[in-house]
Structure 1
């Protein structure tokens, strides 16, 4: 099976995916029976490269390293799909969580033109998950987004495939690596300002860290998981949210001396016919599955009827890690 890929977004994640295809394209075809032909790469900042016969990923990387691609960027995704014969649009663009753009328009354009759509962006899901999944299903297409939660760590596919047949009653997760790193360092003696500065120096935290430290990022991820696990749409304003900016290093260190760990826990559970969602710092006892998750690692524990508690942990961010999620989704489409 051949997948003809149009890649939108040439930042860290997009370049990482091109790099994987360059290094491992033949191996992936042999291992999974899916030939991945890159036919379009575009980003409004650097231009575009297109070839319906297939681009050389190595040559594209060299052009990106020089800072420009040879063609003008085509903002119309439908045109790209039709002219290049793309079967999959891979979206690695930055996102606006309020509007879902530009990923939302990219998804609509791809699906309406007959191409599958895979994305790492939380925006389209936060705004229009039901619409996009129904749009894909009506056309016999796939809309996949493994990388939207926990990067390349396969939480979404675990819920949808690995736990198929189980009833899920609760999910608790450490879904933000920035705050988990900061809390780990605060438990080791750093103050809040010192931990934040270190996280920013290491690239974990943005210059404006509000989305992380005030809990917006994990709250949006809970909205996505509510749809994945319970097929219910909830808005970010329905998440009871408290961040970590009110914590002091002394509080976190004191809990650590008592054998507990402070984590920013994102929780989702059923209560009668309602779905409840909460993000807040919690002191976890040593026997809690998330107690020992340190650094920038993400993890989630899922309460099920057949298997009890199931916990998965792994990288929650990173260029290669997030590109792996796109790759997983593309391979899944090809194998199906």
Structure 2
């Protein structure tokens, strides 16, 4: 397997580090050698001087020796161009870009199908939680009924801090100082990031990506200290949940993200801090829970490398 990596930020660095440190183990499981043919980043990095480096991602896309492109840039405009050209060139695509797939997934998945190549995106949902592969592969005999989850660690951390007495402003400041929140936390606190993720979970469960404007989204910015205090008095907490459900009669799929009160009997009640949890309800397995840290360079890089295994050994997820 010969790969090109576009974007050497926190996750990209860890992908290269894990491949370097665990090469023998990874290659044994892959069943073949893995070579990082070329890496692309806006600025050069001295620690990667042994690799073929470029500022121009088009060099990776045009390299006939590269069979799999790992895109770790974020955003939409340039990653969309990269994704289209990767698939058109009949190369496989591994990405952590949930926004890209939630907005343009239908187009990209169809293109991958036409070109007979694969898109894998385990790192796009849940960070280090292996949720997409079980949903698509281990649980596939089920008729899925509902998926719900705490899908954003930043929002969950803020709500946890507020339940312990902090104001929204104090909790956000703390999350930012600890590196849990971006300088612009809009996607996290307004529920947009969670909506991207529930959209992808819905696609793997039912084969349909909803138009993003059809998802009802409500974030946590409207919650006050009084709301949190009132909930606590009733032994409840607010959790920002993404939910997807299908009507068994009409087969209509509905998606929503909003703060929901959960009581002590709810599985999500004790999911605190930056942790994520996802519940999948199937016709045969009942309710299955996946729990873990939803972010972090190491955890996300692990998910990216797990997709390299799937490129070689698994069927395409595209329908």
**If the length of structure 1 is used for normalisation, what is the TM-score?**
0.87
Structure 2 match to 1:54:
none
Maintained 8 Å contact 1:153/1:313: yes
Structure 2 match to 1:152:
128
Structure 1 residue aligned with 2:55, among 73, 86, 92? Answer: 73
Please show how residues 83-102 of structure 1 align to structure 2 within 5 Å. Answer: 83=63, 85-95=65-75, 100-102=76-78
Structure 1 match to 2:18:
20
Structure 1 match to 2:172:
196
Shift of 1:74: 2.1
- Seen in structure 2, the aligned counterparts of structure 1 residues 140 and 186 have a Cα distance that, compared at 3 Å, is same
Shift of 1:113: 1.2
Number of residues of Structure 1 aligned to a counterpart in Structure 2: 312
Q: CA RMSD in A?
A: 2.0
> Which gives a bigger RCO, structure 1 or 2 (Cα 8 Å, sep 6+)?
2
Deviations 1:123-146 (A, max 9, x none): 331222122222222333111111
- Seen in structure 2, the aligned counterparts of structure 1 residues 123 and 101 have a Cα distance that, compared at 3 Å, is farther
Please show how residues 276-291 of structure 1 align to structure 2 within 5 Å. Answer: 276-291=254-269
Unmatched segments (≥5 aa) in structure 1? 48-59
- Seen in structure 2, the aligned counterparts of structure 1 residues 81 and 240 have a Cα distance that, compared at 3 Å, is closer
Structure 1 match to 2:317:
none
- Seen in structure 2, the aligned counterparts of structure 1 residues 207 and 81 have a Cα distance that, compared at 3 Å, is closer
Please show how residues 223-262 of structure 1 align to structure 2 within 5 Å. Answer: 223-262=199-238
SS in 2 for 1:102: helix
Structure 1 residue aligned with 2:189, among 208, 213, 221? Answer: 213
Structure 2 match to 1:297:
275
SS in 1 for 2:165: coil
Maintained 8 Å contact 1:172/1:267: yes
Distance in 2, Cα, partners of 1:270 & 1:291:
24
Shift of 1:5: 0.7
Match status 1:325 vs 2:303? yes
Unmatched segments (≥5 aa) in structure 2? 315-319
Deviations 1:81-132 (A, max 9, x none): 443501110111121xxxx322221111111112111100113312221222
Distance in 2, Cα, partners of 1:335 & 1:35:
14
SS in 2 for 1:195: helix
Maintained 8 Å contact 2:29/2:309: no
- Seen in structure 2, the aligned counterparts of structure 1 residues 61 and 118 have a Cα distance that, compared at 3 Å, is farther
Maintained 8 Å contact 1:129/1:227: no
Deviations 1:254-285 (A, max 9, x none): 42343222101111111333211111111112
Please show how residues 134-153 of structure 1 align to structure 2 within 5 Å. Answer: 134-153=110-129
Distance in 2, Cα, partners of 1:257 & 1:234:
38
Distance in 1, Cα, partners of 2:274 & 2:207:
29
Q: Structure 1: which 4+ aligned runs deviate by more than 4 Å?
A: 68-72
Distance in 1, Cα, partners of 2:22 & 2:57:
29
Maintained 8 Å contact 1:39/1:84: no
Structure 2 residue aligned with 1:306, among 284, 287, 298? Answer: 284
Range with greater deviation from structure 2 (11-20 or 228-237): 228-237
- Seen in structure 2, the aligned counterparts of structure 1 residues 289 and 34 have a Cα distance that, compared at 3 Å, is farther
